[in-house]
């Protein structure tokens, strides 16, 4: 079955979550730091000497990564707050629409859960005498599904942004930890491999942040 544009956007948004590959990749990147220490102490396993960048470039690279990721983290946080607020607004509108379709006005804004429970019980029982017509029942089903979908998407926003936050925070921390030892890491094979993996983590985290922002804004 062909997916709708909205479903494809949600798939892009959900792809920002940390999968198994991303977790393994992060674990390897972290492991490369103690391996660099072992190599510095003369206990390295690799005999091949890798030279990724000129020695003086490592300090500026780690510094630039930390600063750029921190800036992107701040921008992403602003977008997340806006997206979360917009999700609340859409949920509120969905509840108002459902109450209008259900013909109920006495529910206050503090009893949305009670209203949703009653609405769900009614639409799941088509023989309920409350329904005057099949059209009214279908309208309320659509309204109920809209509420459930909006609430689920709001929860998904929190989960996805938490995963994006974890990977970006990790990149910032790793770059700051490596910064004082940049000259040493530049001379080590594991240090160069760590730097390469850190650059790939920057690309990964940036891509996930862009997916998060685009997916949440477009849905």
Per-residue pLDDT reduced to its tens digit, 186-216 = 888 888 999 999 999 999 888 888 887 776 6
Between 11-20, 51-60, 88-97, the lowest mean confidence (pLDDT) is in 11-20
Per-residue pLDDT reduced to its tens digit, 74-93 = 888 888 888 888 888 888 88
Q: Does the pLDDT value for residue 16 go beyond 60? A: no
Q: Pick the residue with more confidence: 119 or 189?
A: 189
Q: If you average pLDDT over every residue of the chain, what do you get?
A: 79
187, exposed or middle or buried, with CB in 10 Å at 0-12, 13-18, 19+? middle
Q: Which 3-state string (H, E, C) describes 88-150? A: HHHHHHHHHHHHHHHCCCCCCHHHHHHHHHHHHHHHCCCCCCCCCCHHHHHHHHHHHHHHHHH
Q: Residue 15: its pLDDT value, please?
A: 55
Check residue 49 and report its DSSP letter: P
Identify the band that residue 5 occupies on the pLDDT scale cut at 50, 70 and 90. Answer: very low
Mean of the pLDDT values across residues 28-56?
A: 79
Q: Residue 159: its pLDDT value, please?
A: 79
Torsions phi, psi for 66 (to 5 deg):
-60, -45
Q: Residue 40: its pLDDT value, please?
A: 83
- % the chain with pLDDT above 90: 18
Check residue 17 and report its DSSP letter: S
């Amino acid at each position: 079955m062909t997916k709708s544009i909205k479903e494809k956007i949600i798939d892009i948004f959900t792809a920002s979550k940390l999968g198994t590959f991303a977790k393994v990749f992060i674990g390897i990147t972290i492991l490369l730091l103690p391996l660099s220490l072992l190599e510095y102490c003369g206990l390295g396993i690799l005999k091949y000497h890798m030279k990724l960048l000129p020695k003086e470039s490592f300090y500026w690279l780690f510094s630039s990564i930390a600063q750029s990721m921190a800036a992107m983290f701040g921008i992403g946080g602003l977008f997340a707050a806006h997206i979360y607020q917009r999700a609340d607004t859409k949920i509120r509108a969905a509840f108002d629409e459902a109450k209008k379709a259900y013909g109920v006005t006495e529910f206050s804004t503090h009893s949305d859960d009670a209203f949703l429970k009653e609405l769900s019980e009614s639409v799941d029982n088509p023989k309920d005498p409350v329904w005057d017509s099949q059209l009214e029942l279908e309208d309320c089903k659509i309204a109920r599904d809209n509420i459930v979908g909006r609430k689920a998407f709001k929860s998904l926003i929190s989960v996805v942004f938490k995963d994006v936050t974890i990977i970006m925070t990790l990149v910032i921390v790793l770059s700051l930890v490596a910064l004082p030892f940049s000259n040493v890491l530049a001379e080590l094979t594991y240090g160069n491999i760590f730097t390469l993996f850190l650059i790939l983590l920057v690309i990964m985290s940036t891509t996930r942040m862009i997916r998060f922002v685009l997916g949440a804004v477009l849905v």
